[in-house]
Structure 1
Amino acid sequence: MSVQENIRTLDSHGIAGREIARRLGVSRDAVTKYAGQQDYSPKPPAPVARPTGSAMTGFEATVEKWLGEDQRRPRKQRHTAKRVFDRLVAERAFTGSYSPVQRFVKKWNALHRQAGEGFTELVWPAGTAQVDFGQAEAIIAGIRQVLHIFVVTFPFSNMRFVQAYRGETAECVCHGLRTVFDLIGAAPRHLVFDNATGIGRRVGTKVVETKLFGAFKLHYRSESRYCNPYSGNEKGNVENAVGFLRRNLMVPEPEAATLQGLNAVLMARCMALAEATHYRKGLPVSELFAQDVAASLALPGVGFDPVRYESRTADKTGNLLIDGNTYAAGSSFHSRTLTVGLRHDVVEILDEHATPVRSFPRAFGRQTETIFEPASLLPLLVTKPGAWGHSQLRPLVPEPVRDWLDKATATNRRRLLNAVDAASGSAGFDAAINAADLLIQRGDIPEIAALGMLARRLADGATPAAENVDLSVYDVFTTDIFITVNTVTGEIA
């Protein structure tokens, strides 16, 4: 564990700051800093120049992989520091000297002399949770989907929780754990996983965790343990719970309008299971679970934000490649280096000043088409109206608007697209395009002022009248009026 994690773990056990500093050999200021820090959520990288790193910067993961693979080899056939240096020069174009490589290998070997990481416990104390994923089908918005069901169990009480996700990423794991923590009002002291699913990977006897999950553990002061690969018996409680919850909560396949709605139903059903009696202890699960909560850690004042930030450079069309899928930031961002925030359900794109500029539903699996926000295509089409015929936007607009734009001159096409672009900024793309549709169907000219005002009304939920207005009531003001003036008194008759 890192020094920060050790400090927060000892602090969670009630050990005084002076004693923590003595045990860990750190300053009391460091203890105060890390024990008192409330929020370990990842932050977007600040737009500052990166400092110069050591000669090993960028090569650490490669060397760690080679040394980790050595754990499965005979001792006399493992990498020496000299062999690591020679391979780096030959295979990775390493330009540094031998000394930093030697120091890195020596330090790594000193830290990894003790083999056999991971824990096998057959008697689980209160305040310990087991975590695993399974798969099940559900119907979301009328579409049958295979979902990844995230299960958290407390083996002491046999309390079980489940949430459904579209993937098994570290963001999904951290979001699912935070959802459970917020619901029960506490964080388990120990989290038991199998082969680091979604949050890392096991190489030999070494478990390499993701940075996001490392920050999550620091935030909640929880400790993690990992079973041996293919040893499901070491966390049999959650293995059984995955099948139990799938059979009892998802047969027949549940239906919901959204994934969030499905998760709300699943969580309510899990809470109902707490009224059952423990299969061995003969007490209500809810009563035993109260002991689990009492043995867990108090939540920090700030909830963890499970987001992973990465840097991406947009291509000449303003597209970004993220997890194998293409997302359109917009043509104005072409060739710029942007920051991407990855959450369990959303991909957020930030500019060089960490200001959000686009947000998309996160896609899991390979998508053949570019994922884009329709409004992001409008500025380029205003500049190049001739591209309308082959634009990705064309199939998305209503037929009256599409036909009007197809037949319009370049000038009129630019005017309408500019009006929709202007209205999208204040009312949203859907309201703007619906306003253009209504104006065209009425035979009106879709000018910027009229379209923007109608789009804002639609966005506010006001439905304009479709029928023609009877103007005959104003005819009385157009009839002839005779005025008589008394030349003596000046009175008007």
Structure 2
Amino acid sequence: MTISMSVQEEIRRLDSEGVPARQIARDLGISRDSVTKYADISDYSPRPATPVRRPGASVLTGYIDVIEGWLADDARRPRKQRHTARRIFDRLVAEHGYAGSYSPVQRYVKAYQQDRRGAGDGYAELSWPAGTAQVDFGQANAVIAGVLQVLHVLVVTFPFSNMRFAQAYAGETAECVCHGLRTIFEHAGGAPRQLVFDNATGIGRRVGAQVVESKLFAAFKLHYRCTARYCNPYSGNEKGNVENAVGFLRRNLMVPEPVAATLTGLNQVLLAQCDQLGAGVHYRKGVPIGDLFTDDVTACLALPTAGFDPVRYETRVADKTGNLLIDANTYAAGTAFGGRKVTVGIRHDRVEILDEHARPVVTLPRAFGHQADTVFDPISLLPVLIAKPGAWTHSPARATVTDPVRDWLDTADTTDRRQLLAALHAAGTAAGYQHAITAADTLIRAGDDPGTAAIGMLARRLATGTEPAASTVDLHVYDTLTTGQHNHGDQPDVEHDDQQHDQHSGVCA
């Protein structure tokens, strides 16, 4: 039975006045043992609560040595490959016939680890000066051009102000990192003096005390005069601000999945949304984030007059078909470059192929991961198809045209097929491949021969936006113009018009 503080106070008052314990117990309605207990307390100073461990050791009898052996061995293993309480429980059941529940195992493992925690374990609170940024990647889904994609979101935070920025990319390469950092630097108006990363393999990594950086990122640092530090990949607290920001921005900017026509458009929206987050108040300092970020920018380095061009140039020799292997994916330079040495400029979103004299040959979209199909520009395949029209049936270019154009080429004889392919190549070179295909599709649907100069004129009008909307044309007006006769009456002379049309038709025939 718990005795309230007021009753305890009364017990001690009566006891101090010399009232017998029997009388106190009878007057207050409590036992004499309670009177004796509270009357004899000599120190009422507050004391910390002593946790009472729940029972459980008895069900682990015979398993303690096994558990402690596994945990002791973990000290020699990487942190991410050590036993969890769940793994220990599963092994006890599978290997030692343990029949108890999971909870006693969990409690024992927790107590074991807490008892052996050193004074240097745990996280230190770090203070970040203005002008310092932390960088990390996170993943999120987005719908780009109608396709759901997994994007790699580059997050840059300024811990002093808690300002956060994000840019999304298809990969985590050095080209993506440098492009994103340049975009954020120019948006913020300054370059951070120090960038803090974990072991991001795209730009560099730390092995012990040695740091190895990519040449592209080393040039990026020289360009902006900033430094970089690579923290322990197992110590998230060393860049905890950006670690938290990755999850925060994913929950607040990427839920539900954003929809955009292009990745560039999505990134513009992300910057605008990050600016809006800057209007909030710092969670600890109680000052608007935007005001603190002004101090961050002031402490940053001034931007150079020219922005860094994040491109990596490498030399390749094309195979006999004119294909190149770049980062595990195949790109088509064109059959004319079979066996030739070319230069490739690798950017975050595209691959530029240059000839021996550094003149542009073709620009292709960059592929990330591993793709089974060759990345190619359809127009670069047309010259060999013009020379070998029989190869059309199995050419990758066949899948890039519309159904009417494909059907026309499939059924055309060798001469007509070569003629249309040559017309597509000429029109595509002048006005763009897609405009050339649209022009050919339009002519075929109208019943005209697409393998003529008309495809080039129509493609150029489509490219410049000067092609008028299709409409039905009354050709009878040309009958009056060619005969020079007009009907001036109020009512049309149907018979006269028909006669003139017949006469005109006969002349044309």
Q: Same fold (TM over 0.5)?
A: yes
1:465 aligned residue: 470
Question: What's the offset of the Cα at 1:469?
Answer: 4.4
2:270 aligned residue: 266
- Matched AA of 2:420: L
CA distance in 2 between counterparts of 1:177 and 1:121 reads 26
1:323 aligned residue: 327
1:280 aligned residue: 284
CA distance in 1 between counterparts of 2:481 and 2:239 reads 87
2:351 aligned residue: 347
SS of 1:448's partner is coil
Q: Is the alpha carbon distance of 1:121 and 1:380 closer, same or farther for their aligned partners in structure 2, counting shifts above 3 Å?
A: farther
1:182 aligned residue: 186
1:81 aligned residue: none
Q: Give 1:414's match in structure 2, choosing from 399, 415, 418.
A: 418
2:154 aligned residue: 150
SS of 1:411's partner is helix
CA distance in 2 between counterparts of 1:139 and 1:366 reads 21
SS of 2:453's partner is helix
Q: Is the alpha carbon distance of 1:191 and 1:467 closer, same or farther for their aligned partners in structure 2, counting shifts above 3 Å?
A: same
2:195 aligned residue: 191
**Unmatched 5+ stretches in structure 2:** 1-123, 486-509
CA distance in 2 between counterparts of 1:455 and 1:181 reads 41
2:70 aligned residue: none
Q: Is the alpha carbon distance of 1:469 and 1:395 closer, same or farther for their aligned partners in structure 2, counting shifts above 3 Å?
A: farther
Check whether the contact 1:420–1:432 (CA below 8 A) recurs between aligned residues.
yes
1:159 maps to 2:155 = no
SS of 1:416's partner is helix
Q: Is the alpha carbon distance of 1:479 and 1:286 closer, same or farther for their aligned partners in structure 2, counting shifts above 3 Å?
A: closer
- CA deviations on 1:348-379 (whole Å, 9 max, x unpaired) are 11111111111111111111111111111110
Q: Give 1:132's match in structure 2, choosing from 129, 132, 136.
A: 136
Check whether the contact 1:326–1:370 (CA below 8 A) recurs between aligned residues.
yes
1:203 maps to 2:207 = yes
- CA deviations on 1:291-329 (whole Å, 9 max, x unpaired) are 111111101100001111111111111111111111111
Check whether the contact 2:205–2:230 (CA below 8 A) recurs between aligned residues.
no
The runs of at least 4 aligned residues of structure 1 exceeding 4 Å deviation read none
- Matched AA of 1:145: Q
CA distance in 2 between counterparts of 1:446 and 1:143 reads 33
Larger deviation: 140-149 or 365-374? 140-149
1:252 maps to 2:260 = no
Q: Is the alpha carbon distance of 1:229 and 1:472 closer, same or farther for their aligned partners in structure 2, counting shifts above 3 Å?
A: closer
Check whether the contact 1:172–1:344 (CA below 8 A) recurs between aligned residues.
yes
SS of 1:371's partner is coil
TM-score (ref. length: structure 1):
0.71
Question: What's the offset of the Cα at 1:445?
Answer: 2.4
SS of 2:457's partner is helix
CA distance in 2 between counterparts of 1:277 and 1:408 reads 69
1:388 maps to 2:388 = no
User: Which structure has more RCO (C-alpha within 8 Å, separation ≥ 6)?
Assistant: 1
- Matched AA of 2:276: A
Question: What's the offset of the Cα at 1:239?
Answer: 0.9
SS of 2:155's partner is strand
SS of 1:393's partner is helix
Q: Is the alpha carbon distance of 1:479 and 1:138 closer, same or farther for their aligned partners in structure 2, counting shifts above 3 Å?
A: closer
1:109 aligned residue: none
CA distance in 2 between counterparts of 1:398 and 1:288 reads 55
Check whether the contact 1:138–1:147 (CA below 8 A) recurs between aligned residues.
yes
Q: Is the alpha carbon distance of 1:411 and 1:236 closer, same or farther for their aligned partners in structure 2, counting shifts above 3 Å?
A: same
CA distance in 1 between counterparts of 2:445 and 2:172 reads 47
CA distance in 1 between counterparts of 2:245 and 2:480 reads 78
1:221 aligned residue: 225
- Matched AA of 2:329: N
- Matched AA of 1:176: G
Question: What's the offset of the Cα at 1:464?
Answer: 5.5
CA distance in 2 between counterparts of 1:466 and 1:369 reads 41
- CA deviations on 1:173-216 (whole Å, 9 max, x unpaired) are 11111011101111011111111442012233211000000000
Q: Is the alpha carbon distance of 1:295 and 1:468 closer, same or farther for their aligned partners in structure 2, counting shifts above 3 Å?
A: same
Check whether the contact 1:418–1:448 (CA below 8 A) recurs between aligned residues.
no
Q: Is the alpha carbon distance of 1:464 and 1:285 closer, same or farther for their aligned partners in structure 2, counting shifts above 3 Å?
A: closer
Number of equivalenced pairs: 362
1:308 maps to 2:312 = yes
Question: What's the offset of the Cα at 1:479?
Answer: 6.5
SS of 1:252's partner is coil
Check whether the contact 2:198–2:205 (CA below 8 A) recurs between aligned residues.
no
Check whether the contact 1:187–1:220 (CA below 8 A) recurs between aligned residues.
yes
Q: Give 2:336's match in structure 1, choosing from 322, 328, 332.
A: 332
Question: What's the offset of the Cα at 1:468?
Answer: 4.2
CA distance in 2 between counterparts of 1:312 and 1:288 reads 49
- Matched AA of 1:463: P
Larger deviation: 465-474 or 398-407? 465-474
When the two chains are superposed, the root-mean-square deviation of aligned CA atoms in Å is 1.8
1:141 maps to 2:145 = yes
- Matched AA of 2:162: N
Larger deviation: 464-473 or 244-253? 464-473
Question: What's the offset of the Cα at 1:476?
Answer: 5.2
Question: What's the offset of the Cα at 1:234?
Answer: 0.9
2:480 aligned residue: 475
Q: Give 1:437's match in structure 2, choosing from 430, 437, 441.
A: 441
- Matched AA of 2:317: T
Question: What's the offset of the Cα at 1:259?
Answer: 1.2
CA distance in 2 between counterparts of 1:320 and 1:292 reads 45
Q: Give 1:289's match in structure 2, choosing from 293, 304, 323.
A: 293
CA distance in 2 between counterparts of 1:469 and 1:321 reads 56
1:452 maps to 2:456 = yes
Question: What's the offset of the Cα at 1:137?
Answer: 1.5
- CA deviations on 1:369-413 (whole Å, 9 max, x unpaired) are 111111111100000011111111122222222222222221121
CA distance in 2 between counterparts of 1:447 and 1:320 reads 32
Q: Is the alpha carbon distance of 1:300 and 1:476 closer, same or farther for their aligned partners in structure 2, counting shifts above 3 Å?
A: closer
Q: Is the alpha carbon distance of 1:469 and 1:449 closer, same or farther for their aligned partners in structure 2, counting shifts above 3 Å?
A: farther
Question: What's the offset of the Cα at 1:467?
Answer: 2.8
Check whether the contact 1:147–1:165 (CA below 8 A) recurs between aligned residues.
yes
Correspondence 1:2-151 to 2 at 5 A: 122-151=126-155
Larger deviation: 412-421 or 215-224? 412-421
